[in-house]
Chains A and B, each alone.
Chain A
Amino acid sequence: MATCTVSGVRLAGIASAVPDRVRTLASHAAVFGEAEVRKISESIGVKSRQVAFDGMCTSDICFAAADRLLNDLAWPRESVDALIFVSQTPDYVLPATSCCLQERLRLSKRCAAFDVGLGCSGHIYGLWIASSLLVGGGARRVLLLTGDTHSYICSPLDRSVALLFGDAGTATALEADGSAAPMTFVLGTDGSGRDALIMPAGLFRNPHTEETAIRTAGEDGNSRSAEDLFMNGAEIFAFTLREVPPLILAVLQGAGWSVDEVDAFVFHQANQFMLQHVARRLKLPKDKFILAMEEFGNTGSASVPVAMSARLAARLRSASLRTVLAGFGVGYSWGAVALTCGPMVMPDVLKVPGSVVGTVSSRSE
């Protein structure tokens, strides 16, 4: 898709939440050895991250973020016209998790609600869909929820994923505002990369069998099942080198901004080594390049808003910033937006207690 510009949409606020349960990388030393864990930790830039309490779903974390955001904004619940839930770890195959969240957040029955199944690029796609609904879809206020609970899908015996990912959920509020600065989007897809980041079995293409659930050691010494998340880190890195620098240059050009005119670059927090390499290639100033992996890990579609909440909240509460946000990975799918936002509602990152776990469907009790 070509570059597209959306005018008349304002970001009203962002709230990010993580489970109040920290897992350090050091805790994996028993499996991989202390030296190996230290080496990986230094490379990926993660020291600890949060993992869901037993039974806690992505929707529970997103609920906490959304509930707080609606309260802080003082938006009447019935004023939300659409709810979008972007995740690859929904509550059920069906119904859509967004329907469950409509009821739980006490939103109006006149609220449109739907799920989007994207990961690393998910927040950018969500912003694009939400702003399109506000400009052409008749909505006045949209709530965008993004997040994932990777801890359920990563084999603890697979060093390529076990140390990298964290769990988080976020809420972003957008509303129609004729005076808002335009947003410029660039989006793309290359499905030939589907095998580089995938949970191969467990749904309809490769249904669950006894065999698909068995973890076996591969050539690389990592043990995983066909139902666990698989990541080919080298392929993902090569993809990022190929697609991300041109993506950033395209969105800057579309917005008519130079690097100097941007206040903050917030990329999907994929892997610190990779991010720093891309930043060097693009010659982005260090003080404008946001890194927030050390205490959160890679939180998938939540990582861009989590990084904003963790590193930019104070500035965004009081000032307007020119930001370039970008997401890229699983799919392959990617997107970037040049976005002027703030001042806006921006609480510090919320810690969600285990008591927030939602009700389990009565059929499974």
Chain B
Amino acid sequence: MMTKREFLSELEEILETDPGALKGDERLTDLKGWNSLAVVSLIAMVDERLDTTLSPREIAKAGSIADIVRLLGDTIVP
């Protein structure tokens, strides 16, 4: 389990954006640095921290960061 803030911090690190920059409702396609390398890093981070394998197809279908948080269900706590 991790908090939503922790998840966003991990994502900020993957995207190389400033700490605290992400609010959690951004559209993925609007994010600078959101590319295939970022997708792979996200899958790795989730696998390591939450012991869950996100499917690339599900990530591709997700429109926003909030959609990905939803995919992770109750492993992400507020």
Q: Are A233 and B36 in contact (CB under 8 A)?
A: yes
Interface residues of B in 34-51 (CB under 8 A from A): 35-37, 39-41, 43-44, 47-48
- Interface stretch among A15-23, A83-91, A273-281, A324-332? A273-281
**Interface secondary structure of B, over-half rule:** helix
Query: Which of A43, A220, A234 contacts B43, CB < 8 Å?
Result: A234
- Interface stretch among A135-143, A235-243, A255-263, A349-357? A235-243
For A222, the closest partner residue in chain B by CB is: B36
Q: Are A277 and B56 in contact (CB under 8 A)?
A: no
Closest Cβ of chain B: how far from A333's Cβ, in Å? 19
Determine the chain A residues whose CB is within 8 A of the CB of B76 once the complex forms: none
For A237, the closest partner residue in chain B by CB is: B40
Number of A residues near B (Cβ < 8 Å) is 18
Q: Are A241 and B37 in contact (CB under 8 A)?
A: no
Q: Are A238 and B43 in contact (CB under 8 A)?
A: yes
In the assembled complex, A232 has its CB within 8 A of some CB on chain B: yes
Complex CA gap A281/B44 in Å reads 10
Interface residues of A in 197-217 (CB under 8 A from B): none
Closest Cβ of chain B: how far from A20's Cβ, in Å? 31
In the assembled complex, A223 has its CB within 8 A of some CB on chain B: no
Q: Are B56 and A234 in contact (CB under 8 A)?
A: yes
Determine the chain A residues whose CB is within 8 A of the CB of B39 once the complex forms: 234
A238-B48 CB under 8 A given contacts A40-B37, A43-B37 = no
Contact with A along B13-40 (1 / 0, CB 8 A): 0000000000000000000000111011
Complex CA gap A232/B47 in Å reads 18
Q: Are A237 and B37 in contact (CB under 8 A)?
A: no
Q: Are B48 and A234 in contact (CB under 8 A)?
A: no
15 additional A-B pairs beyond A241-B43, A241-B47, A273-B44, beta carbons within 8 Å, are A39-B37, A220-B35, A220-B36, A232-B56, A234-B59, A235-B56, A237-B56, A238-B43, A238-B55, A241-B53, A242-B53, A273-B40, A274-B40, A277-B47, A281-B48
